[in-house]
Amino acid sequence: MLKTLIKSRISALFASMTQGGKSKNKKRVATSLLIVLFVVLIAYFLFAMGAMAYGLCYMANETGDTYAVFTLAVIISSALCLFGSIFATKTQLFESTDNELLLSMPIPPKYIFISRMLVLLLVNYLLEAIVMLPCMLMYGIVIGYEPLGFVCSLAVFLLLPFLTLAISCIIAWIVSEIASRLRNKTFVTVFLFLVFFLGYMYMCGSIGVYAGSEENATLDLSGLKNTALFYWAGDAMANGSLISLLLFVLCASVPSFLVFFILDKRFISIITTKKAKAKIEYKGNTEKAGGVYSSLLKKEIRRFFSSSAYIMNAGLGNVLCLVMAIAISVSSRELLLELSGEYGMLEAFIPFGVSCVCVFMGSMNLVSTPSISLEGKSLWILQSCPISPRDILMAKLSCHMVICTPLSVISAVILCVAFKISIVYSLFVVLAVLGSVAFTGYWGLFLGLKFPKFDWQNENVAVKQGFAVFGSMLGSMLFFMILMGIGVLLTPISIILGLMVLIVPPVIISVIIHSYLVNGGIVAFENLKK
């Protein structure tokens, strides 16, 4: 029975990624394209992490701080696991829609709990492998393992996802309990998730890896020793320290065991108890008359801000971009400006690098992608109303632009001011950001129209699953990474030329998709069926 549940969970996980409509041809095309995107993107991340680990291994080997390679790898992988699984944990454990169906069957509740935890654990292992495997490989090539180091590395690799999953369970549980008792559930959920995640990132990042005078900035990795749990993991993996391994195992396994034990014992209570909800008093007021297009736009904006799942999964790139801009401008500005003074080539890359940061973070915004799928059973209302399909599609696109443009532009301005980029180059940086916002909006709406997902019982499914969502995110990231690679080659020739690579292709593709939406897209929307 447990084996069957696990298989069904894994099958559902992969089916949710590849489902692209009722047509078999669409499903086949969606599956093939998604596999290609996954392979290329994972290969890129593995290469990027390997390159970073390769350089870090050489620097750490020179200073003797070999533990720092794995300490940083554990910090990055734990943050990635936490960010990648916390929303799934909240949905699967505390807000799942199939609880009553499964409990009505002759299935032990323990099996339901274990099957969900194992699938979440699998997701954590996959995310951890993207970071840890390249670092372990580069460390073995550049530095080499101590006799017990490789064994300790495997032990840390196997145990770390249990800790990150336990932390995800705690945060998801707290957020679910608090949000259910407050009036503005959407705002509270988003706020609490951001507080927990940014707090965790601040704790991981407050280690001070750079030190030295203004005349001689050097890489100082000694601050990593203050990270306790992460340092013990790195020391065990690099030096084969059994004491550090024992400390890591105790600090990681004991809390994980307690969390899993408590959740197992209270699983039935958690999924069956009706949570208290804040009473909302209805207040009638007059509605101002407006045009069709403005009414549709207001509807889309209200829908976005009324769903925490929609905000966190489709609009989180806005917040991350702003946080990243502030963090870089505060912590790395002086170092990069000093290095740019010593190495003239780096100064040429600063405007391009600022654009890359904002563009890449903006590629995580998918506001327009699930907007059609979210219509669900009410799709026929829009189709039967005397409203032009063009207005409907453009309102969904405008919602994406209205939500994503302000914070993206503000983030770009913050970085331009921090790095004292000239007005001319700053203008090109802002244009690159605007081009990326337009591209993600058009690309997401195009995929959402071609591969809608209407067969959902919970809106989380429409927002987080289906080929349109994964294809939009992975496709945007891959597209901008290719442009960044080309820009790196062209920037030494001309800074403007490098920046134009980030501006022109997204604008051209956006114009092409716009032309399709106002012609063939209208017919496609009219032919959509629930």
Closest CA to 525 of 436, 435, 438, 395: 395
In this structure, what token pair is assigned to residue 41?
Answer: 């993107």
Confidence of residue 119 (pLDDT cuts 50, 70, 90): confident
Q: Which range has the worst mean pLDDT, 35-39, 182-186, 373-377, 488-492?
A: 182-186
Q: What is the mean pLDDT of residues 208-223?
A: 43
pTM of the model: 0.72
CB 510 within 8 A of CB 439: yes
| 24 pLDDT above the threshold of 50 | yes
In this structure, what token pair is assigned to residue 406?
Answer: 């302000």
How many angstroms separate the CA atoms of 261 and 82, rounded? 20
Confidence of residue 514 (pLDDT cuts 50, 70, 90): very high
How many angstroms separate the CA atoms of 384 and 400, rounded? 24
| 194 pLDDT above the threshold of 50 | yes
CB 460 within 8 A of CB 389: no
| 347 pLDDT above the threshold of 50 | yes
| Residue range 439-457, pLDDT digits in tens | 999 999 999 898 888 877 6
Q: What is the mean pLDDT of residues 468-476?
A: 84
- For tokens 């999924």, name the residue: 271
| 278 pLDDT above the threshold of 60 | no
Please report which helix (H) or strand (E) contains residue 108, including its range. none
| 13 pLDDT above the threshold of 50 | yes
Q: Over pLDDT 90: what percentage of the chain?
A: 12
For the ranges 26-30, 219-223, 229-233, the maximum mean pLDDT occurs at: 229-233
| 191 pLDDT above the threshold of 50 | yes
| Residue range 388-422, pLDDT digits in tens | 888 899 999 999 999 999 999 999 998 888 888 88
Q: Which range has the worst mean pLDDT, 162-166, 335-339, 491-495?
A: 335-339
**Amino acid sitting at position 74:** V
Q: What is the mean pLDDT of residues 116-134?
A: 87
| Residue range 304-320, pLDDT digits in tens | 888 777 887 788 778 77
In this structure, what token pair is assigned to residue 445?
Answer: 């709406």
CB 393 within 8 A of CB 445: yes
Q: What phi, psi does 220 have (nearest 5°)?
A: -120, 110
Average of per-residue pLDDT values in the chain: 78
CB 393 within 8 A of CB 336: no
Measured from the Cβ of residue 236, the count of other Cβ atoms closer than 10 Å reads 28
| 521 pLDDT above the threshold of 60 | yes
Measured from the Cβ of residue 371, the count of other Cβ atoms closer than 10 Å reads 28
CB 494 within 8 A of CB 501: no
Closest CA to 190 of 99, 320, 98: 320
Please report which helix (H) or strand (E) contains residue 218, including its range. strand 217-219
User: What confidence score (pLDDT) does residue 190 get?
Assistant: 66
- For tokens 């996802």, name the residue: 161
| Residue range 425-439, pLDDT digits in tens | 889 999 999 999 999
CA distances from 487 to 58, 179, 426 (A): 27, 44, 16
| Residue range 73-108, pLDDT digits in tens | 888 888 888 877 777 777 777 767 666 677 777 777
CB 50 within 8 A of CB 69: no
β-bridge partners, 218 = 211
CA distances from 28 to 13, 50, 64, 164 (A): 17, 33, 52, 35
